[in-house]
Amino acid sequence: MNLKKINFTLCLAILSIGTFAQNNDEVKTSMRPNSLKVTFQSDKFYEFAYANVNPKKVESLREYIKRVIPLAAMYGGKPFASFSVVRSESDKFQVNTVAIFEWDSPQSRLNLLEDKDYLKIKYLRDIAIQTEMQFGWFRVNADTPIEFNPQKIYEIGTANLVKDGGKTLQVYNQIAEPIKRSYGGDYPEFKIVFQSIEDSKGQATFSPHMQFIVEWRSLEDKDKLFANEEFKTKAVPVLMKAIDTFEPVFTKVDIQ
């Protein structure tokens, strides 16, 4: 496994669509000019969509989002947050956009996809997406509020562990934690962990052991930590023993 790709800190330069976060108290999502505040709720389902948006077709996608919001609301869904990818260290996700959607259930999205009015606007999305999209479906154990800062970097990571990898990760954390606090950069904050759901109604194209978001001050801090000699020689070898596959993308939150 390439060390450069193991930036795991367990525990679109193109797309900027502010409507991904509606100012709506009822759905517990709000936006301020300099940050995005959301609450991931334990009684909801979260669809992560990885996509390559054609920069020449962004206006088409904007129009799609504008028109799909009221339709999705009829079926218990809404665009939740979107992120521009500034660096991908993933073989699986060579994309420029990660979008998160909130649903009452996986069936809610299927109901939307069959709606006759939705079928009339679907072409707007299709012409804006360059490659096949990847979808993951997740839940959280408890309501989790997060404030996304557009000045920070958000690592959206997908990981599968080897057998008994969880125990090895505990050892890794014991080794890595003091180094992460003393390497010379800001501490990378582990914001949230998601659990893959058992039944996405056939919509998930990947179902990892772990999906998570880590906040970094900058890509420079991330690179500095993984270049740290103590971290590289003591923590990373333990981490490698725990992980089967790891797919990180580094993003900035889209705010408009």
Residues 115 and 159 reside in one and the same domain: no
Residues 230 and 193 reside in one and the same domain: yes
- Domain assignment present for residue 5? The answer is no
Residues 162 and 44 reside in one and the same domain: no
pLDDT in the model for residue 31: 44
Residues 68 and 189 reside in one and the same domain: no
Tokens in use for 13?
């330069």
Residues 140 and 164 reside in one and the same domain: no
- Domain assignment present for residue 3? The answer is no
pLDDT in the model for residue 33: 56
Residues 114 and 16 reside in one and the same domain: yes
Which burial class, exposed, middle or buried, applies to 5 when counting CB atoms under 10 A from its CB (0-12, 13-18, 19+)?
middle
Q: Flag residues of the chain having pLDDT under 50.
A: 1-32
- Domain assignment present for residue 137? The answer is yes
Torsion from C-alpha of 251, 230, 186, 5, nearest 10 degrees: 0
Residues 241 and 139 reside in one and the same domain: no
C-alpha–C-alpha distance, residues 83 and 241, integer Å: 30
CATH of the domain at 135: 3.30.70.100
Of 101, 99, 95, nearest to 53 by C-alpha is 95
194 conformational bin, left if phi > 0, alpha if psi -120 to 50, beta if neither:
beta
Using the 3D structure, point to which of 91, 115, 146 is the last residue of a domain: 146
Which burial class, exposed, middle or buried, applies to 16 when counting CB atoms under 10 A from its CB (0-12, 13-18, 19+)?
middle
Using the 3D structure, point to which of 82, 114, 146 is the last residue of a domain: 146
pLDDT in the model for residue 4: 41
- Domain assignment present for residue 2? The answer is no
- Domain assignment present for residue 1? The answer is no
pLDDT in the model for residue 256: 67
- Domain assignment present for residue 7? The answer is no
pLDDT in the model for residue 47: 98
C-alpha–C-alpha distance, residues 37 and 51, integer Å: 23
What digits encode the pLDDT tens for the residues 204-250?
Answer: 999 999 999 999 999 999 999 999 999 999 999 999 999 999 999 99
CA distances from 109 to 60, 138, 193 (A): 21, 14, 23
For the chain, how many structural domains are there in total? 2
Residues 38 and 125 reside in one and the same domain: yes
Which domain, by its residues, includes 93? 12-146
The b-or-e profile of 74-109 (16+ CB within 10 A means b, else e) is ebbbbbbbbbbbeebbbeebebbbbbbbbbebbbbb
Residues 142 and 192 reside in one and the same domain: no
pLDDT in the model for residue 78: 94
- Domain assignment present for residue 202? The answer is yes
- Domain assignment present for residue 255? The answer is no
pTM of the model: 0.88
**3-state class (DSSP) for residue 58:** helix
C-alpha–C-alpha distance, residues 54 and 61, integer Å: 9
Residues 120 and 19 reside in one and the same domain: yes
Residues 142 and 159 reside in one and the same domain: no
Write out the E strands in 7-152.
29-32, 35-40, 45-51, 77-88, 97-103, 134-139, 144-148
Residues 137 and 51 reside in one and the same domain: yes
CA 218 to centroid of chain Cα atoms: 17
Asked if residue 98 lies in contact with residue 85, where contact means CB atoms within 8 angstroms, the answer is yes
Using the 3D structure, point to which of 124, 146, 168 is the last residue of a domain: 146
